[in-house]
Amino acid sequence: MACLSTNSVSTHSLHHSSSVTRIPNASLSLLSSSPSIDISSLKCLRSSSSSLYFNQKLQRRSTMSHTINVGRTAVVPTCFASNTDQLKSAREDIKDLLKTTFCHPIMVRLGWHDAGTYNKDIEEWPQRGGANGSLRFEVELKHAANAGLVNALKLLQPIKEKYPGVTYADLFQLASATAVEEAGGPKIPMKYGRVDVSGPEQCPEEGRLPDAGPPTPGAHLRDVFYRMGLNDKDIVALSGAHTLGRSRPERSGWGKPETKYTKDGPGAPGGQSWTIQWLQFDNSYFKDIKEKRDADLLVLPTDAVLFEDPLFKEYAEKYAVDQEIFFKDYAESHAKLSNLGANFDPPEVCIYFPS
């Protein structure tokens, strides 16, 4: 998955640890480089099931209707789970947050990890996992693959408190898509109205997220992403988000302590990036992985396999030479991932926020 970096909150990747020991479920996502934060200080981690249920009831009663232009098509969404006006305002606040903290990578990672627990073979919600806001609870934040994501939650919590009519599930996906767009990536057609789980007992078990260095990278990626209902094109396109961010060996066991591209930040200095311009979303990830000419750029086993596996390579080669195709496929795959496992209320609403 993708990795991006932030100011005092930085980097990305599903690998984190306090030593250089590789963590099994530390993977393709964004590592946070911010200092550790006291989990107990976050109100959302201490929220009771009853209060969360009450808030969701309030959100459903605050139905709003607005006309939003999508290209040449005007849609009039009615959003029950989240208030449409508050979603739009929260997006603007997230854009301001990105400008001041450079937290694009960790926001992408937050959205991906909340959605990436989905299991298509489980029908029941929320047992099936997916984009349901469960990642706000301490029990899931403590999963090895989610190391550092409490920092992203800390950054978003003031926005959540300012806009209580937006669910955590929507806020996480809104922040992820906005981070990609604000880093120069494609506009992502997002759907909102995700219902939140009500308590930590509804969090998925650990072990559903990908690993960065499995013995058989190609088979591992397919095992994880096929379980979500995604395909080879999705795997390669989503891997391209590693154009953003850094990996830190003290958290994940992967990467160098610093390189010439990361020693001065922005944000907390250090770590190893996949690309030179690691806060810019483009197709340079595929170019750099293919060429492997710079020892200061990171190449994980799950990166290298994109040009080794013949089915993955078909897409990776295409994205390396054509950024427009990459952007198109990435936007589709990101939107698909963000909807996995979600319980939408109402189910038919699709909202796209133009720039």
Question: Is 292 contained in some domain?
Answer: yes
Question: Is 125 contained in some domain?
Answer: yes
Cα(30)–Cα(20) distance, integer angstroms: 17
Q: Tell me: do 233 and 153 sit in the same domain.
A: no
More confident residue, 53 or 300: 300
- pLDDT level of residue 249 (50, 70, 90 thresholds): confident
Q: Tell me: do 190 and 225 sit in the same domain.
A: no
- At 73 the pLDDT is 37
Residue 77: pLDDT above 50?
no
Question: Is 173 contained in some domain?
Answer: yes
Mean pLDDT of the chain: 82
- The residue range of the domain holding 312 is 217-336
Query: Kind and range of the H or E element at 70?
Result: strand 68-70
User: Quick one: 313 exposed, middle or buried, by C-beta within 10 A (0-12, 13-18, 19+)?
Assistant: middle
Question: Is 135 contained in some domain?
Answer: yes
Our answer to whether residue 104 is catalytic in this structure is no
Q: Tell me: do 184 and 91 sit in the same domain.
A: yes
Question: Is 33 contained in some domain?
Answer: no
Q: Which residue in the list 12, 15, 104, 113 is annotated as catalytic?
A: 113
Q: Which residues of 243-266 are buried (b: 16+ CB within 10 A; e: fewer)?
A: bbbbbbbbbbbbbbebbebbeebe
Q: Tell me: do 321 and 244 sit in the same domain.
A: yes
Domain boundary among 136, 168, 202: 202
Q: Does this model's pTM top 0.85?
A: no
Please give the tally of structural domains in the chain.
Answer: 2
Question: Is 247 contained in some domain?
Answer: yes
Q: Tell me: do 138 and 238 sit in the same domain.
A: no
Question: Is 300 contained in some domain?
Answer: yes
Question: Is 22 contained in some domain?
Answer: no
The CATH number covering residue 137 comes to 1.10.520.10
Query: Comparing C-alpha atoms, which of 37, 105, 136, 137 is closest to residue 248?
Result: 105
Q: Tell me: do 183 and 239 sit in the same domain.
A: no
Q: Tell me: do 195 and 228 sit in the same domain.
A: no
pLDDT tens digit string along 116-149? 999 999 999 999 999 999 999 999 999 989 988 9
Q: Tell me: do 228 and 307 sit in the same domain.
A: yes
Cα(345)–Cα(342) distance, integer angstroms: 10
Domain boundary among 148, 172, 202: 202
pLDDT tens digit string along 274-298? 999 999 999 999 999 998 889 999 9
Q: Tell me: do 313 and 250 sit in the same domain.
A: yes
Residue 261: pLDDT above 70?
yes
The CATH number covering residue 268 comes to 1.10.420.10
